Amino acid sequence: MDKNLNGFEDSLELNEEESKLFRNWFSNIVINIALENNLPENYSDCAGLIRYAYKETLKKHDEKWIIKNNYNGPVFKDLKYNYPDVPYIGIKLFRKRSGVFNPDTIDKDFSDYVTARYLIEFNFDFISKDINKAKSGDILAFFHPEDPSFPYHLMVYISYNNENYLIYHTGPIEGGGYIKVVKIKDFFKFDPSWLPVETNKYFLGIFKFKILML
């Protein structure tokens, strides 16, 4: 069933407690990826970082997983279902077109790979353009139409040790790109077209994954 018509089967959506668990895992996994620089090559863009962290968040975080990822962050309970055994969709975690959830069209509706644009349009819910309303694990989205090859860009908002950060992959720039970690207060010193403020026409806003209650 898809009672709220958001495109995801109701059993895939997380309640308040599980949404907090997801945010804790997702935030700390993104931090760990940045510190360990262990993002796989086939995920090396802004959307890839988010897809990879999302997938890793849904896995069982047993000792084998911790060792494999050289994970040094806090450990929480696992979620109610775990990748790759995700109900209905399996490894096809992301919607690639609009519509209500239909178990008969999963192969057409879902994929293990989607671009930044499809993440925004079909997998995220808009929250606000007020950065003060962002929670750790939210996604900031930007659209720069003058860059026709990669007009969309995504960043992860992280709260850690009483500081707020943006963590993102720079994309396929010369040398292959890399992950940046920037404090929000320092980010405002950069190019104004990347500022997360309502007056910036390039800033699409703050988003959360559709499966999260909060």
The per-residue pLDDT for range 46-91, each reduced to its tens digit, is 999 999 999 999 999 999 999 999 999 999 999 999 999 999 999 9
Coil, strand or helix at 199:
coil
How confident is the model at residue 51, as a pLDDT? 98
Mean pLDDT for the stretch of residues 165-188: 88
- Give Cα separations from 203 to 22, 127, 158, 198, 207 (angstroms): 25, 13, 18, 7, 11
Residue 140 tokens read as 């900031």
d(CA 136, CA 154): 14
Query: Residue 140 has what pLDDT?
Result: 98
pLDDT at 176 over 80: no
pLDDT of 188 > 90? The answer is no
Both structure tokens of 64: 């084998």
Per-chain mean pLDDT for the chain: 95
Model confidence band, residue 142 (pLDDT cutoffs 50, 70, 90): very high
CA quadruple 60, 66, 67, 68: dihedral sign: positive
CA distance 135 to 158: 7
Q: b/e for 27-43, b at 16 or more Cβ within 10 A?
A: bbbbbbbbeeeebeeeb
pLDDT of residue 179: 95
Among 9, 130, 119, 10, smallest CA distance to 54 is for: 119
Q: What is the pTM of this model?
A: 0.96
For residue 175, what pLDDT is reported?
Answer: 67
Model confidence at 174: pLDDT above 70: no
